[in-house]
Structures are given as C-alpha cells and as structure tokens.
Amino acid sequence: MNEDCIFCKIANGIIPSNTLFEDDDFRVIFDLGPATKGHALILPKKHFENIYKIDDDTAAKAFVLAKKMAAAMTKAFDSDGFNIIQNNGECAGQTVFHFHMHLIPRYKDDNAIEFWKAGQADDAELKELVKKVQENL
Ligand code: AMP
Ligand code: ZN
C-alpha cells in the first residue's frame, strides 16, 4: 500500500466508502463524479500505478470482476448498456495513479460520454504497425 495514494486508502478501508463489493483483492466503490447513475470503480487493494505495472493475476481477476459487476449493476439499475473504461497515463485521461476500472451503466439517450472521432485506416501504415507490435510482444 502507498501511504500517499487516496485509492490505496479507500480500497483498504482506511477511508470509508459506499462499497458495492469487496473481497481479498478488490473493493468496488461509487465514483465521486459520476458520468451516469451508478458509475463505479474497481480498485485493487494492492497499489499498481497503471496497466503497465499491474500483475497478470490481478489484471485477470479485475476483468472477471468487471463482468460480474456489469451483470449485477445492469439488473440493479435497469440500464440499457454498459461501458468499461480504463485510463493509463495523463494523456489518456488518468487522474488518479492507482490502477482502476470505470464501470459505467448507460441509459438510452444519456449522451454521457464523448468518444473519439473515427479516422481513416491506411493499409501500409497498418502493416508497419503490425511489425512494430510483434517485435515488442
Ligand atoms: P481517471 O480519470 O480514470 O484516473 O479516474 C479517476 C476517477 O476517480 C474520476 O472519475 C474521479 O471522479 C474519481 N475519484 C477521484 N477521487 C475519488 C474519491 N475520493 N472517491 C471516489 N471517486 C474518486
Ligand atoms: Zn494506491
């Protein structure tokens, strides 16, 4: 646990929260500034800054938990869809540097989240990108 990290303190119960779910590895809480009704966060109890740092076991468990929470929250809130969002790095919108997954119930016509503008794929560039990624796997 990182003493200076707010999500470490919340995840480990040092700062109280409305907890939707807790087990040995995670706590699920409501986001302080919800995009929609029920917007929640999956917080691992161990401190990992982001996806580059999280261990494989916790990463795998996090997505299984996201699946379980999505099903329960969709039923509970009678939502029409669901976004799972996970930001890494300041330029990607990360503001709290303790790995977390956003669980965002969506409601018809809520217009709650703006997504990217679609660009144009270029086949030569894609071939180059495939090569570069494969060199780094
Ligand atoms: P991100 O921008 O992906 O790093 O997301 C950080 C999220 O944490 C934002 O949606 C904030 O509203 C939320 N947040 C920040 N502090 C707290 C807190 N003390 N309790 C609950 N949510 C928080
Ligand atoms: Zn932390």
For the Cβ of 50 lying below 6 angstroms from any atom of ligand 1, the answer is no
Ligand 1 pocket test, pick from 15, 30, 41, 91 with the greatest ligand atom count within 8 Å of Cβ, gives 41
pTM across the whole model: 0.97
| Residue spans of beta strands (DSSP E) within 93-133 | 101-106
Task: Specify the residue for token string 């016509």.
Answer: 109
pLDDT tens, residue by residue, 55-73: 999 999 999 999 999 999 9
Mean pLDDT score across all residues of the chain:
97
Span between the terminal Cα atoms of the chain, in Å? 30
Ligand 1 pocket test, pick from 4, 29, 31 with the greatest ligand atom count within 8 Å of Cβ, gives 31
Q: Which two structure tokens, joined as six digits, stand for 42?
A: 């999956």
**By mean pLDDT, which of 1-5, 8-12, 14-18 is the weakest?**
1-5
pLDDT at 115: 87
pLDDT at 101: 98
Contact between 112 and 36 (Cβ < 8 Å) = yes
Considering only CA atoms, give the Rg of the chain.
17
Neighbours of 123 (CB within 10 A): 7
Active site residue 100: yes
Task: Please name which ligand lies nearest the alpha carbon of 15.
Answer: 1
